[in-house]
Amino acid sequence: MISDNQTWHDVGCYGNETVKTPNIDKLAAEGVRFEEAFATTPSCGPSRAVIYTGLLTHRNGQYAHPHREHNQQLREDVTSVFAMLKGSRYRTGLIGKDHIKPLEKYPIDHKPRISSRDVTKMAQSAGEFLSDSEDPFFLVMAFSDPHPISIDGVAWGVKKTKDYTPIDYDPTTLKVPPFLPDTRHVREGIAGYYQEISRMDHGLGLVLEELEKSGHSDDTLVIFTSDHGTSEPGAMGTHYEPGVRVPFIVRQPGLKDQASPNKALVAFTDITPTILDWTGVTFDDYELQGRSFLPILNQTEPRGWNTALLSHVGHDVFAHYPMRTLRERRYKLIWNITPGAEYPLPIDTVQRRTWVELRERGDKKMGERLVENYLHRPRLELYDLQEDPWETNNLAGSKEHRERVSQMVDDLMARLTHQEDPWIRKYHPLGKEQ
């Protein structure tokens, strides 16, 4: 189950005392909550391509969105998890938002035309799919909440329907995260964003009820996450924590001694290998870039899960800004591959009220970050997340951290070289000629 544009701390069980997410919280109580999980790219379409292939963006080929003018898609030599499972008699379903291309690489048996914001109908369709056959299944529930419903105005929010009454949140009492400016309109946006999160949570609960009715709660692996962080500036399209750190909960039936919260650093490249592990399906056409996390669900602090590799190319076809990031437990190194270019905000963000009003006011800061530093970034950014959780003090040029930067660059380049990242044919984190 995938929510749409939701940062990790915007869930009750992750410490948010305002937003109401009783069903996600219950799922976490029954399973494992990962404290540090990462979308490897902060963009809807490319992120889903990583989830469904087990390959980072620079390897799977879907460099930006697939729809309309963006026209990005999986490479010809890449196989999706739907195809991997389909070859082993699994029924496949995707209900809600897809953002996938080309469709022939996604053999999906059940893909109804239902609004991905109508959580009641989505759950009903899931029930139909689950009760249709006793064959094993793979089902994706892809909600469009809490993605903004428009660019202009508040952009978030939920209207009452015959099936659902939204929860009201008082903008004046909300806590504004430090990466955003504390203004009336930002608070209104957060209130609407929380409304959408609560509706998605309601839908998630309905889907779990349908799973229970089908008799398969006790033999089905359930994963909940978001495709990346919130749509706000400072998050979407960036490798800063609000853009890539997501909620991530796993419920494995029959697992004893579930270790929750789990401190392993997991990434979306690990999802397809985990699904293959759970289903017993083998795939050896090429090496996947993640690994199954099933063996560590009963370990609070598993060894060997202390880093995550992130890779971004662009959000829209007109927002190209390639980045590679090595995330360690305490430190994060971001490599901005084209540092001379002004950072292009994604279309979802640049035309939205938060950013437009900030620019009209001439604000020098956006939350705790300088606007100038947000738009014009150096080749390397190094952050001490323990001392600087909102990533405002770049240590990459510090003599004190010179050895650390060198070590992390070497580690990053070793991984990218092994993965045959096309970008390193021309570019290097230290600016060396290739």
Share of the chain above pLDDT 90, in %: 89
Q: Nearest CA to 21 among 194, 230, 231?
A: 194
Tracing tokens 């003090």 back to the chain, one arrives at: 393
Cβ atoms 139, 180 nearer than 8 A: no
Per-residue pLDDT at 150 exceeds 90? no
Strands 248-251 and 369-370: unpaired
Average pLDDT over every residue of 240-269? 94
Query: In this predicted model, what pLDDT tens digit does every residue of 91-101 receive, in sequence order?
Result: 999 999 999 99
Cβ atoms 10, 193 nearer than 8 A: yes
Check residue 434 and give its pLDDT: 43
Handedness of CA 341, 8, 218, 124 (dihedral sign): negative
- Separation of alpha carbons 394 and 427, rounded Å: 21
Per-residue pLDDT at 372 exceeds 90? yes
E strands, 21-129, are 32-38, 91-96
Task: Concatenate the DSSP letters of all residues of 332-371 into one string.
Answer: EEEEESSTTSPP---HHHHTSHHHHHHHHHT-SEETTEEH
Task: Dig out the tokens for 365 from the structure.
Answer: 């800061």
Range of lowest pLDDT (114-118, 237-241, 299-303, 315-319): 315-319
Per-residue pLDDT at 257 exceeds 90? no
Distances, alpha carbon 133 to alpha carbons 211, 215, 230, in Å: 13, 12, 37
CATH code of the domain occupying 2-301? 3.40.720.10
Q: Nearest CA to 140 among 93, 78, 201?
A: 93
Q: CA angle 19-20-24, nearest 5°? A: 110
Instruction: Spell out a b/e string for 182-204, using b for 16 or more CB atoms within 10 Å of the CB, else e.
Output: ebebbbbbbbbbbbbbbbbbbbb
pTM: 0.96
β-partners of residue 331 are 384
Per-residue pLDDT at 37 exceeds 50? yes
Per-residue pLDDT at 192 exceeds 90? yes
Task: Give residue 278's pLDDT band: very low, low, confident or very high (50, 70, 90).
Answer: very high
Task: Give residue 176's pLDDT band: very low, low, confident or very high (50, 70, 90).
Answer: very high
Q: Nearest CA to 349 among 18, 104, 44, 79?
A: 44
| Beta carbons within 10 angstroms of residue 328's beta carbon | 15
Main-chain phi, psi angles of 409, to 5 degrees: -65, -45
- Separation of alpha carbons 429 and 210, rounded Å: 49
Question: Rounded to 10 degrees, what is the CA torsion of 320, 321, 327, 332?
Answer: -160
Query: In this predicted model, what pLDDT tens digit does every residue of 386-424 receive, in sequence order?
Result: 999 999 999 999 999 999 999 999 999 999 999 999 999
Distances, alpha carbon 98 to alpha carbons 66, 77, 78, 193, 231, in Å: 10, 20, 17, 21, 18
- Separation of alpha carbons 359 and 341, rounded Å: 19
Q: Nearest CA to 49 among 70, 58, 115, 337?
A: 58
Cβ atoms 129, 175 nearer than 8 A: no
Average pLDDT over every residue of 57-75? 88
Mean pLDDT of the chain: 95
Q: Nearest CA to 335 among 363, 313, 307, 302?
A: 313
Segments of the chain assigned to CATH 3.40.720.10: 2-301
Q: Nearest CA to 229 among 51, 11, 5, 15?
A: 5
Here the contacts of 70-79 (C-beta below 8 Å, separation 24 or greater) are 70/45, 70/316, 70/317, 71/101, 71/317, 72/45, 72/46, 72/101, 72/317, 73/101, 73/102, 74/49, 74/101, 74/102, 74/105, 77/286, 78/53, 78/105, 79/53, 79/105, 79/283, 79/285
Strands 320-328 and 331-336: antiparallel
Distances, alpha carbon 288 to alpha carbons 81, 98, 179, in Å: 11, 22, 34
Q: Please tell us whether the domain made up of 310-425 is placed in CATH 3.30.1120.
A: yes
Task: Give residue 153's pLDDT band: very low, low, confident or very high (50, 70, 90).
Answer: low
68: amino acid identity, one letter: R
Segments of the chain assigned to CATH 3.30.1120: 310-425
Per-residue pLDDT at 298 exceeds 80? yes
Q: Is 432 exposed, middle or buried (0-12, 13-18, 19+ CB in 10 A)?
A: exposed
